[in-house]
A and B are shown apart, each in its own frame.
Chain A
Amino acid sequence: MKFDIEMLLKNDVRIVVSTFVGISFLFIIVAMILGLDFNGTVNTIQRIMFLSAVYAMVVLALNLQWGYAGIFNIGVAGFMLSGVYTMAIITGDPNGLIPGLGLPLPIGIVGGVLVSGLLGLLISIPTLKLKADYLAIVTIGFAEIIRYTANALTFKTFSIAGVEMGTGAGRGIHLPMNPIRGLYYIDPSNMGLGKTIVGEYIFGFFEIVQVQSSVVVSWTYAIVLIFIVGLFYVVTYRIGNSPFGRVLKAIREDELVANALGKNTDIYKMKVFAIGCGLMGLAGILWQGSYGYTNPTTFQPILTFYIFIALIIGGSGSNTGSVIGGVVFASLLFEGPNFVRRVIMHVFKFDKAPNSIIEAMIPISSLDFEPFISYSLANISSLRVVFLGLVLVYIIQNRPDGLLGDRKELAASIDISRRPVTETREGKEA
């Protein structure tokens, strides 16, 4: 009974691809309304795909911990930071302003994942006896300690056993060049030196349709990320849809029962915490890896809040729901408001927005809503948090299981919903 692959191909892949295609189509319409050229449209879709892939990865990792095992880790941002910073320190130029170890990127990535996973393991040992809310307090505290450590002037540069390294403190730290550039340019750090054969061919092709080379590089990175989302999915799906995943679900439901049925729940919790944190670290690396630079401000606790909203939207406990949640959150709820602002401003041509909410609200008394709308649109980034809160309240009240959380996703490596057909004397019997 080939349960997983067939089921995936039949249903879940179709759901995910449809969501990606639907959202891309929506943003093509937005780009058309905004009058963007083909390059601008392609660039817009790339940004949406990139962020969607990043969120899908982290949400899948969180789903493993919270959706399956019920481990309330609200230090996600801290584990992402630890991955990125470890990678930056390992790969940093030993003679740079913020010195690093100068090791190759793959070692940096593996190191980042391992350190995030090990930090997860370390924090799990003393804390997994804690109830959900206390564990939440500890994890967010831990994440903030990591962020403050990265931000601390003391660690701007430091040395261990005579080896200089540092976090760059509040100014942040440089990350290795986007490795995708190596595919297209002879010297990724100096584009002037010329393109590789692949670069010549691909850039040449896209030049015909007036897509800039930088957009091609970004798109390639986004495609790599989408592929890695697929790998994340396979890993989390295999863990979740197995006897291991069954124990995780049992821990979520009633840890004592799992224990009374012979499962050493502490070990399972430690393993899933370490794996989840390692994947969060990797997601952080892949997210910030394309920017060439990161700083502690990027990893504020609100990032964890965003990831939880994405998981709740998609459906906690469902891997496919996690991907859908990540995509819907990143495209419609996170990036969407900015595009709504741009579209409205483009269509209605508002005057300059008032400087304060008071100035925006006074004209309402004379039924003039324009200053208020204009002010709201100008401050849509701040209002986004309010909007997200409203969406969260709505979902929890009306669809508490999320978009796909009400599906029965059985934790087994085979289809356990059907009775195996057994041969009897009379013939086949269900």
Chain B
Amino acid sequence: MSSSKVKRKLSGRKKSAKKYPLKVEKIGKKFGGISAVNNVSFSVEKGSITGLIGPNGAGKSTTFDLITGVTSSDTGVVKFNGEDITRKRPYQIANIGLVRTFQITRELKEMTVMENVMLAPKNQMGEQLSNVLLSKGRKRVESQEEEMLEKAWETLDIFHLDKLANEYAGNLSGGQRKLLEMARVMMMDPSMILLDEPMAGVNPTLKNQIITLIKKLSKKGYTFLLVEHDMDVVMNHCNPIIVMHNGGVILEGTPSEISTNERVIDAYLGGSE
């Protein structure tokens, strides 16, 4: 291959990675004899709000786990911004800007809401022992914490959690816990966010606020991949939508394509299951 061809190919790759920061290629996972995810491939476009839907047991959350390194895949490749992250660990993936929330909320119960949120920012000087123990370093830590604290209050304002800042996270309601998880990942300044059923247990008013916020962030360039069962949210705000069934992707398309597809209707929207 000539050098100009190689350059063209590489530049093409870069472009592709720029437009599609997340690329999932033929990933698969078996638990015992059961194939939870089988040969799944899709790409997520930058700045999009991509929906991932399917009936219970379709493999959506497992796909999230495989992308974020919580579970290691048996086959396939996951690329983020062109970098192979298939074998990376969750903390490494989070640190390159791909973060997630969990289907069953995992708030840090015996820590306050503010502690939960202040945990998230990257590159905290106070996470280095030398900075914590020595007075000189501690001053820098304090100054950085002051800055983070302001941002944390702003984030809590956005998610309507400011009045609960000093409450233990374990005392929050289900909906508030969902909000806390989102606030926490936002503090990481990610470029892409995987939200696992963010609307579950959230009241309609708050739901609208979350949708507005997601759309606002998506316009700013944040990319979202949403697992969601609320079809109003998915059909009105996600585009494209990826449909999974029995561990595989059965369709990817616009909301109108999805809502009229017979396989999708059979499998999820109105079929026997």
Contact = CB atoms under 8 A, between A and B. Distances in A.
Most A CB atoms within 10 A — which of B112, B138, B145, B185? Answer: B145
A430 to B, nearest CB: 10
A414 B94 contact: no
Contacts of A238: 132-133, 138
Contacts of A245: 132
Contacts of B111: 246, 249-250, 253, 411
Contact of A246 (B70, B115, B188): B115
B116 to A, nearest CB: 8
Interface residues of A, number: 39
A67 B152 CA distance: 26
B114 A417 contact: yes
B13 to A, nearest CB: 26
Interface in A262-281: 262-265, 271, 275
B160 to A, nearest CB: 15
Contact of A410 (B94, B115, B125, B153): B115
Given A261-B94, A265-B91, A413 B108 contact: no
Nearest to B96: A262
Contacts of B112: 408, 410, 416-417
B109 interface: yes
A262 B145 CA distance: 17
A317 B141 CA distance: 22
Given A249-B110, A258-B119, A419 B133 contact: no
B118 A412 contact: yes
Interface string A395-422: 0000000000000101111101101101
A422 B184 CA distance: 23
Contacts of A256: 70, 90, 106
A254 B150 contact: no
B150 A249 contact: no
Interface size class of B (residues with CB under 8 A): 35 or more
Contacts of A265: 91
B133 A262 contact: no
A262 B91 contact: yes
B11 to A, nearest CB: 30
A422 B128 CA distance: 29
A197 interface: no
A253 B108 contact: yes
A244 B115 contact: no
B108 A1 contact: no
B120 interface: yes
A317 B108 CA distance: 15
A8 B176 CA distance: 33
Nearest to B125: A243
Interface string A239-251: 1001111110110
A235 interface: yes
B142 A414 contact: yes
A417 B149 CA distance: 10
Interface string B127-146: 11100110000100110011
A9 interface: no
B95 interface: yes
A243 B114 contact: no
A95 B108 CA distance: 57
Given A238-B133, A254-B108, A261-B94, A413 B145 contact: yes
Contacts of A275: 129
A268 to B, nearest CB: 8
A297 interface: no
A257 interface: yes
A259 interface: yes
B68 interface: yes
B165 interface: yes
B48 to A, nearest CB: 22
Contacts of B115: 246, 249, 410-412, 416
B150 to A, nearest CB: 6
Contacts of A244: 126-129, 132
Given A242-B132, A249-B115, A260-B70, A416 B145 contact: yes
A420 B127 CA distance: 22
A420 B153 contact: yes
Contacts of B109: 253
A284 B53 CA distance: 59
Nearest to A263: B91
B150 A420 contact: yes
A64 to B, nearest CB: 12
A388 B12 CA distance: 71
Interface in B156-195: 162, 165-166, 184-185, 188
A256 B103 CA distance: 13
A414 B145 CA distance: 7
A304 B94 CA distance: 38
Nearest to A257: B106
A258 B111 CA distance: 12
B119 A417 contact: no
Nearest to B139: A413
Interface string B42-57: 0000000000000000
Nearest to A265: B91
21 contacts: A238-B133, A238-B138, A239-B132, A239-B133, A242-B132, A244-B129, A244-B132, A247-B119, A249-B115, A250-B119, A253-B111, A259-B90, A260-B94, A260-B100, A261-B91, A261-B188, A262-B95, A271-B129, A410-B115, A419-B165, A420-B146
Interface of A: 1, 235, 238-239, 242-247, 249-250, 252-254, 256-265, 271, 275, 317, 408, 410-414, 416-417, 419-420, 422
Given A242-B126, A250-B108, A257-B102, 8 more contacts: A238-B133, A243-B124, A243-B145, A244-B126, A249-B111, A260-B100, A412-B115, A422-B150
